[in-house]
C-alpha cells in the first residue's frame, strides 16, 4: 500500500534539501538537469510527463511513478490517457509491473478524487 | 519485513478489480494471459510456478514472489524444492537478491506453518 | 555499430513468422497485444510510439529502439522531438544509456536520410 | 543474428580458462558454485536447466540463454516444453524480451536440427 | 522512510540464520563467498565497501545500500567520500536512483550522528 | 567477441560529436557532467574509475566497461586490483555477469599487452 501523497511530498522535499546542501556540485547540477528536462520544448510538458511516467513504470521506481502521477494530474492528463500509458508500459515490461500498476492505480485515484473535491490539482 | 498474506491477498484483489474495471481492453487481455500461461500444458502447473518464482526472484519483485510462493504451496512444492529453486536464483542473480531471499524465507515459513496448522494450503 | 535497417527488418519478420508458427496460443496472443497497444486511442499513435521509444531506451533494448525509431519516422516525429525524447530517457536512466543513444543517433540519421532521398519513410 | 554454437563454445571455454587462471580464489569459487547449482538434487537437472533458462531470458542475457539451451537440448527438453518456458518468460518480462526470444528460437532450431542429423545432442 | 538500523540488523541476522540452517550447501557457500569478497586484498576493505556501495545503489537495492553504509561507517569513510560515491552512482544510473539517494542520505546521517554521540561506529 | 579498442574509440568519438551537435542543451549538460564526475576530488581518479567500472559491470553495459577499462589502464590499475573489482561485481550481480566478465578479461588483456609493447597506456 503506497504512502500518502503528503507524506511523500514532505519527505521528498526535506531530503532533497539536505542533499542539495552537500558540497557536491555534480549532484546539484544533476538535480537542476532533472527539473529542466521536463520543461516545455517542442514536446509539451504533458507529453514529457507521460514519457517520464512510462520510463518510471518500466524501471519499477514507485516514488518516481508517484511524482510523475502528481505532475500528470497537474498537466490535465485524463483517466483514459493514464490507462493507455499504463497499457504500453505493461506490454513492454510484463507482469512484474503489475504490483506497480496497482500502486499507480491507487495513487491516481487519490490524485483525481482530491481534484474533484477542491477543484484544484 | 513483508506484509501479511491476508493483507496482500485483499489489496491485490481489490486493486486488480479496479484495474479490470477500466475501459482498456489491452490491459484486460494482458491480465487474462497472465493467468493462462501458468495453466497445465506439457509442463505441469508445479513446474510453471517454479519458473514464475525464479523469474520473480531474479527480477526482484517481492509481490510477485509472494504470489508465486502461495501458488507453490498449493501445488505441493516441498521445502527442499523451494531451497533449490532459491539457490539457482541466487547464483544467477547474485547477492542483491539476498534481501528478497530473506523475505521469501519468511513468507514460505508462514505458508507452510499455516498449512500444518489447519491442513489446507 | 548497429545492423542495417533492412537486415533487421528481414530477420525480425522471418523469426517472428517462425515463432507465430509454434503451437503456443499464449505467445500468439502476446504478439497480437504487442501490436494492438500502439494503435490510435485517446493518445495518438505518434505519442504512443514516443512512449514505446522511451521505454525501450531506458530498458536498453537496441532492437526495440530500432523498431520504434522506424515507427517514429513513419509517424512524422521531428529531429527535435527525437532529441527531447532521448534527453528525458538519458536523465531518467543515466550514462549507461549513452552507448544506446549513440546507436539510436546513427539509426535515426539513416532513417531520416532515407526519407529525404526518396520522399518516403 | 546469434553467433554459431561452435564459436560460442570455443570463446566461452578459452576465456573461462583464462579467468580461472587468475589468482583470485573468490572468482574460482563462484565458478564452481555456478556448476554445482544445476546438478541433480530433489529437482532433476532438466527442471533446473529450465529454471536457469527462464532466469536468463527475463534478465536478457543472450549468452546465458545460449548456454542453457544447449544444456536443455542435452537433457531432452521437447519443443513444446521450450515453447511453454518461453511463454512464461514473455508474460513475466514483456515485449522487451522479444528480440531475445527470436535469438532463442534460432538457436533452438540449430540445436534440434543438429540432433536430428547426427543423433547426438 | 527507511527502517531503523537496529530493526534492519535484527531482521537480517535472524533471517540469515534461518536460511543458513537450510540443508542447502550451495546457498551456504554463496553466503560465505559474499563475506569473503569484501576482505582485505590488494584493494583495502574501505575501497571494496565503496565498490559494494556503488553497485548496490545503481542496482537499487535499499537493504544492500543500508548494509554497505554501515560498513562504510566502520571503515571511516568521510562525508565527502560518501557524497562523491553517490555522485558517480547518480550519473551512471540516472534520476531513478534519486529515491534511493534520499534513503541513503537519511541512513548515513543516522550512522554518523550515532558515531558522534557515543564515539563508536 | 568484443570490438577492437580502436574501432570503439573511433565510433564513440564520431557519434558523441554528432550528439553534441544537436541543439539540445540538456544532453550537452549531461555529457559535461559525465566527464566531471570522474575528476579528482576527495577520492582519487583511480578509485572513481573502479567505481565506474563496477557500476558498469553490474549494469551489464559492455561499452561502458570497455571505456572504464581503458581509463583504469591509464590510471595504473594493476591486474590484481582489476581481478578484485571483478570479483566484487560477480558476487553482487551473479552468473549473468559471466559473459561480461569474459569480454572484460579479453579487453583488459589487450590494454595491458598494448601497454607492455609500447610503454604507453
DSSP C89-105: HHHHH-GGGHHHHHHHH
pLDDT at E91: 98
Nearest to F52 among E42, E59, E88 (CB): E88
Confidence of residue E118 (pLDDT cuts 50, 70, 90): low
Confidence of residue C2 (pLDDT cuts 50, 70, 90): confident
For residue E93, give the chain C residue with the closest CA.
C94
pLDDT at D110: 96
Residues D62-118 have pLDDT tens digits of 999 999 999 999 999 999 999 999 999 999 999 999 999 999 999 999 999 987 655
Chain E residues whose CB is inside 8 A of the D37 CB are: 26
Question: How far from A118 is each of A75, A111, A112, C15, E69, CA to CA, in Å?
Answer: 17, 11, 10, 54, 43
Gap from B27 CA to chain A (nearest CA, Å): 6
Residue B118 in this model has a pLDDT that exceeds 90: no
Chain B residues whose CB is inside 8 A of the E30 CB are: 87, 90-91, 95
- Residues of A within an 8 Å Cβ radius of F: 25-26, 29-30, 33, 36-37
Residue E1 in this model has a pLDDT that exceeds 90: no
Q: Which residues contact E94 (CB under 8 A, 6 or more apart)?
A: C90, C91, C92, C93, C94, C95, C96, C97
Residue A88 in this model has a pLDDT that exceeds 70: yes
Cell 519516422 sits on residue: C73
What is the rounded CA–CA span in Å between residue E72 and residue E49?
A: 6
pLDDT at B114: 85
Mean pLDDT of all residues in C44-69:
98
- Residues of A within an 8 Å Cβ radius of D: 90-97
Chain C residues whose CB is inside 8 A of the F55 CB are: 96
Chain F residues whose CB is inside 8 A of the A26 CB are: 33, 36-37
- Residues of F within an 8 Å Cβ radius of A: 25-26, 29-30, 33, 36-37
For residue B1, give the chain E residue with the closest CA.
E11
Mutation site for C-interface testing, chosen from A27, A48, A54, A90 by largest number of C Cβ within 10 Å: A54
Gap from F32 CA to chain D (nearest CA, Å): 30
Chain E residues whose CB is inside 8 A of the D26 CB are: 33, 36-37
Residue D38 in this model has a pLDDT that exceeds 90: yes
What is the rounded CA–CA span in Å between residue F7 and residue F23?
A: 27
Percent of chain A with pLDDT over 70: 94
Looking at per-residue pLDDT, the higher value among D91 and B116 belongs to D91
For residue E19, give the chain B residue with the closest CA.
B105
pLDDT at E78: 98
Q: Which three cell numbers stand for residue D82?
A: 521450450
Backbone dihedral angles phi then psi of residue E43, each to the nearest 5 degrees = -90, 135
Nearest-CA neighbor of F38 among F84, F82, F75?
Answer: F75
What is the rounded CA–CA span in Å between residue E72 and residue B42?
A: 51
What is the rounded CA–CA span in Å between residue A3 and residue C110?
A: 46
pLDDT at C49: 98
pLDDT at F7: 93
Residue E80 in this model has a pLDDT that exceeds 60: yes
For residue A41, give the chain F residue with the closest CA.
F24
pLDDT at A120: 52
Percent of chain A with pLDDT over 90: 90
> Across chain F, what does the average pLDDT equal?
94
Nearest to C105 among F15, F30, F63 (CB): F15
Gap from E77 CA to chain F (nearest CA, Å): 10
Gap from B100 CA to chain F (nearest CA, Å): 14
Mutation site for E-interface testing, chosen from B60, B99, B104 by largest number of E Cβ within 10 Å: B99
Confidence of residue B44 (pLDDT cuts 50, 70, 90): very high
Gap from D83 CA to chain C (nearest CA, Å): 7
User: In this structure, is the dihedral angle defined by the CA atoms of residues E102, E103, E108 and E109, taken in order, positive or negative?
Assistant: positive
pLDDT at A121: 46
For residue B98, give the chain F residue with the closest CA.
F92
Residues C79-115 have pLDDT tens digits of 999 999 999 999 999 999 999 999 999 999 999 998 8
Say whether pTM exceeds 0.90. Answer: yes
Cell 510453471 sits on residue: B48
Mean pLDDT of all residues in D18-23:
98
Does the beta-carbon distance from F11 to C102 stay under 8 Å? Answer: yes
What is the rounded CA–CA span in Å between residue B65 and residue B103?
A: 9
Does the beta-carbon distance from E95 to C92 stay under 8 Å? Answer: yes
CA angle centred on E37, ends E31 and E41, rounded to 5°: 155
Residues E16-63 have pLDDT tens digits of 999 999 999 999 999 999 999 999 999 999 999 999 999 999 999 999
Confidence of residue E121 (pLDDT cuts 50, 70, 90): very low
Mean pLDDT of all residues in E78-95:
98
CA angle centred on A71, ends A75 and A24, rounded to 5°: 135
Does the beta-carbon distance from C92 to E91 stay under 8 Å? Answer: no
pLDDT at D2: 74
Confidence of residue C121 (pLDDT cuts 50, 70, 90): very low
CB count, 10 Å around CB of A85? 25
What is the rounded CA–CA span in Å between residue D30 and residue D25?
A: 9
Nearest to D34 among B34, B85, B91 (CB): B91
Residues B46-57 have pLDDT tens digits of 999 999 999 999
What is the rounded CA–CA span in Å between residue A81 and residue A67?
A: 17
Residue E120 in this model has a pLDDT that exceeds 60: no
Percent of chain B with pLDDT over 70: 94
Percent of chain D with pLDDT over 70: 94
Confidence of residue C117 (pLDDT cuts 50, 70, 90): low
Percent of chain E with pLDDT over 90: 90
Q: Which three cell numbers stand for residue F112?
A: 595491458
Confidence of residue E117 (pLDDT cuts 50, 70, 90): low
Amino acid at each position: 500500500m503506497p504512502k500518502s501523497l503528503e507524506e511523500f511530498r514532505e519527505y521528498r522535499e526535506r531530503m532533497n534539501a539536505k542533499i542539495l546542501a552537500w558540497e557536491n556540485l555534480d549532484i546539484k547540477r544533476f538535480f537542476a538537469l532533472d527539473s529542466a528536462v521536463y520543461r516545455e520544448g517542442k514536446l509539451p510538458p504533458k507529453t514529457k510527463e507521460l514519457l517520464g511516467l512510462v520510463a518510471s513504470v518500466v524501471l519499477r521506481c514507485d516514488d518516481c511513478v508517484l511524482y510523475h502521477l502528481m505532475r500528470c494530474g497537474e498537466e490535465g492528463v485524463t483517466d483514459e490517457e493514464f490507462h493507455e500509458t499504463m497499457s504500453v508500459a505493461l506490454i513492454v515490461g510484463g507482469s512484474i509491473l503489475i504490483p506497480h500498476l496497482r500502486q499507480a492505480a491507487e495513487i491516481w485515484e487519490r490524485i483525481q478524487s482530491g481534484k474533484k473535491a477542491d477543484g484544484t490539482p
